Structure 1
Amino acid sequence: MSPVAPLTSGPFAAPEPAATRQVTSSTGARLHVEEFGPADGPTVVLAHGWTCGIAFWAPVARALAADGVRVVAYDQRGHGRSPATPGRYSTQALADDLCAVLEAVLGPEQRAVVGGHSMGGMTIMAAAGRPALVRHAAAAFLCSTGARRLSSEARVLPVPGGAGPRGLAHRLLLTSSAPLGPVSSVSRAMLAYATMGPGSAPERIEACARIVHACHRKVRQGWGRVLTGLDLSEQVPRLTMPTAVLAGTRDRLTPLSHARELVAALPHCVGVHEKRGLGHMTPLEDPESVTDVLRGLVADHLKPSGADTAADVTKESR
C-alpha cells in the first residue's frame, strides 16, 4: 500500500467508478481498469503517463461521464492498482497492455477514441499498426508527449554545455530510484517547477504531488529507463486514424518541439492545440481544454448508438 493518501473530495478526487475489472495482458501483466459514465455511451479509453494513474484523469473522466460518455481508464503496469511485472518494462509492454484493454472493454466491431498523456501517448505510438488499435481506434489523442530524444530536449535541469551534458543529467533524473518521501512544501514546489506551468493553483499541485509520490520508486526507475532510450519516430506515421495533439507552451519535460514534430509526421492530424502557459500535466492544469478535445473527437468520429441500424433500415426501405 502507498503511504500517500489519495484525495477524497473536490474536483481532483477520483470519481466513483461505474464498474471495475481486471485485464490480463498477453505477457501476463494484471491491469486494473475502471469505467465511468453510462455503459452504452460512446467510449473513450485513456492511458496515463509515467508515475501517474487512473486518478490523474479524475476531472476529465468526471466531465465526460456527465456528458454521457463511457470513459475507460487503466493503471499502467506497476502504477496504481496494477502490480509491477519485474523485468517487463518496454515500449512493447506498453503496447501489449493497451491492446489487451481495448480487446477486453470493446466488442469485436466497437470503436473508441483512444487518448494518452505523456507515456500514455507513447503507449499509443508503440501500438501503432497493431490489429487491436487499428480495429478499435476511431481517433487518437496525443497529449503532452513525444516520440524520441526525451532526455536531450527536456528543460527541467538548467545544465550548461549543450545537449550532451543536459541529456546526461536528465537521464540520471529519469532513472533515479531515490525515494520521494512524503508530500511536503518542498516536494510540491519542486514538482510544480518540473511538471507544471507557472501560476498553477495549489489544489492542482497537491493533486499532482499525491499521484506522483504514490508511484513506487522501482517502478518509476524501470519506466524511466525505457523513456531515456525511447525512439518511436518510425511508429508515428503508422497512426493513420484521425489524431489530435495538445501540448503546453511551458512544458519542461516534453517541450513544444515534440508536439510539432508529431504533427509533421502524423498522416491524419485533425487538430493542434498549443496551450499557452501550461506545463506537462495538462489534464490536471487545464482539464477543460483536454475534455473539449476529447469531446470533439467523440462527436466527429464516433457514431451515436444505433446509427448503423438506422442507416441500414433506411437503405432497406428504398
Structure 2
Amino acid sequence: MNAITRTSTAMLLAAALIAGASVHAAQTASPEKAAMARSASTITTADGVQLYYKDWGPKDGPVVVFSHGWPLNSDSWESQMIFLASQGYRVVAHDRRGHGRSSQPWDGNDMDHYADDLAAVIDALDLKRVTLVGFSTGGGEVARYIGRHGTGRVKKAVLVSSVPPLMLKTADNPGGLPIEVFDGIRKASLENRSQLYLDIASGPFFGFNRPGAKPNRGLVQSFWAQGMQAGHKNAYDSIAAFSATDFREDLKKFDVPTLVIHGDDDQIVPIDASGRASAKLVKGAELIVYPGAPHGLTDTHKDRLNQDLLDFLRK
C-alpha cells in the first residue's frame, strides 16, 4: 500500500468514525435535544422525523414563516418567498412531515403533529415576532399551532384559501362538505393518485375547468411533481387531517392581527364555509376576497397576493 492509498484510507476511516459518532449521538439524544437538532437544511423532531426547510433572505430581517397545502411542499410558496426576501424579509418554509423532502413516518399524519412540527422549526431556528402564513391545509396547521402553542413567538397571522374552521359537514356545521366528497378523494388516491393529482391541478385547483379558462401546463406539472414527492400513506392520512379537524376553538385563541384571503370561486375550499367563517371567529380579522379567484391563487393571483402580504406586513 503506497502513501497516497494509506492517506486516503485513513481519511475514509476517520470520516466513517465521525459519521458513526454523529448518528449514535442523534440516536441517544433525549427527545428535548432531538427536537432542536438540525443541520444546514433539516430539523429532527422529538419523535425522530426529519423536516426539510428553506431559510431565505437576510437573517436579521422581519420573519415570515409559511405553511403549505396538500399534497404540496414548500416549493409551492416560492413566488411569495422570493418576493418578500427581496424586500428584506427573512422567509422560512418547511416540507410538512410526509411531504416533499421530509421524512415519511407511518404515524403522526395529523394536525396536532403538524402544529408541533411547525413549533419545532420555529424553536430550532429561534424565530421571534413571526408572521405565520398558511395556505389551505397549511392554514389549519397555523390555526392548530396557535391553539396548542400560543402566540408568544407570533406577531401576525395570515390564512390564505385555508381549511378552517371545519371543512366536513356535521350536525353543527351544516355548511361543510359531505363526507362522500372526501371518501371520493381517498378512493381516487388509492386507485391512482398520480391521475388524481393531475385531475385536481388541471381542473378545480387553478380553475382550469371554468369556461374559457386556459390551462397552464407548467402549473399542472408543478402540482403533480410536488404531490408525487409526498408519501402515499402520508398524503392519504392528510385527507382526514385537513377535512375533519375542527379548528373553531383554535381560531378563538387568535390574539394577533390576522388577515384572511380567499377567492370567491374556490371550488376546493368554498369561501362561505371557510374564509368568511374564519374571519368571523377571529376577533378583528381582516377579510380580503379575490373576485373570481380559484383555490390556487398563490400562483394564479401571485402578484396581488404578494402585494397584499407586503402591505399587511408593513402595517
Give the TM-score taking structure 1 as reference length. 0.76
What secondary structure, in the 3-state scheme, does the structure 2 residue paired with 1:51 have? coil
Q: Which amino acid aligns with 2:66?
A: L
CA drift of 1:105 comes to 1.9
Matches of 1:297 and 1:20 in 2, distance apart? Answer: 30
Structure of greater Rg: 2
What residue number does 2:178 align with?
A: 167
Percent of aligned pairs sharing the same letter? 23
Q: Does 1:32 align with 2:42?
A: no
Q: Which amino acid aligns with 2:191?
A: A
Deviations 1:257-295 (A, max 9, x none): 1111101110131x2111112111121221122222321
RMSD: 2.5
Aligned counterpart in structure 1 of residue 304 of structure 2, from 267, 286, 289:
289
What residue number does 1:44 align with?
A: 64
Q: Is the 8 A contact 1:204 1:285 kept in 2?
A: no
What residue number does 1:12 align with?
A: none
Structure 1: state its 5+ residue gaps: 1-18, 154-161, 301-318
Q: How many residues align?
A: 266
What residue number does 1:278 align with?
A: 293
What secondary structure, in the 3-state scheme, does the structure 2 residue paired with 1:290 have? helix
Deviations 1:141-187 (A, max 9, x none): 0010132442449xxxxxxxx989x61321213433333337xxx96
CA drift of 1:60 comes to 1.0
Shift in CA distance, 219/129, structure 1 to aligned 2, threshold 3 Å:
closer
Name segments (4+ residues, structure 1) moved above 6 Å. none
Q: Does 1:196 align with 2:209?
A: no
Q: Is the 8 A contact 2:166 2:247 kept in 1?
A: no
Tell which has more relative contact order, 1 or 2 (C-alpha 8 A, sep 6+): 1
Q: Does 1:249 align with 2:249?
A: no
Structure 2: state its 5+ residue gaps: 1-38
Shift in CA distance, 86/30, structure 1 to aligned 2, threshold 3 Å:
same
Q: Does 1:264 align with 2:264?
A: no
CA drift of 1:223 comes to 0.7
CA drift of 1:106 comes to 2.7
Matches of 1:207 and 1:277 in 2, distance apart? Answer: 22
Shift in CA distance, 30/218, structure 1 to aligned 2, threshold 3 Å:
same
Q: Which amino acid aligns with 2:161?
A: S
Q: Does 1:178 align with 2:180?
A: no
What secondary structure, in the 3-state scheme, does the structure 2 residue paired with 1:41 have? coil
Deviations 1:208-257 (A, max 9, x none): 33323433322211111223321111111101111100011111111111
Q: Which segment is superposed worse, 277-286 or 236-245?
A: 277-286
Shift in CA distance, 213/194, structure 1 to aligned 2, threshold 3 Å:
farther
Matches of 1:20 and 1:79 in 2, distance apart? Answer: 19
Higher helix share: 2
Matches of 2:59 and 2:102 in 1, distance apart? Answer: 23
What residue number does 1:125 align with?
A: 143
What residue number does 1:150 align with?
A: 167
Q: Which amino acid aligns with 1:58?
A: E
Matches of 2:197 and 2:109 in 1, distance apart? Answer: 27
What secondary structure, in the 3-state scheme, does the structure 1 residue paired with 2:314 have? helix
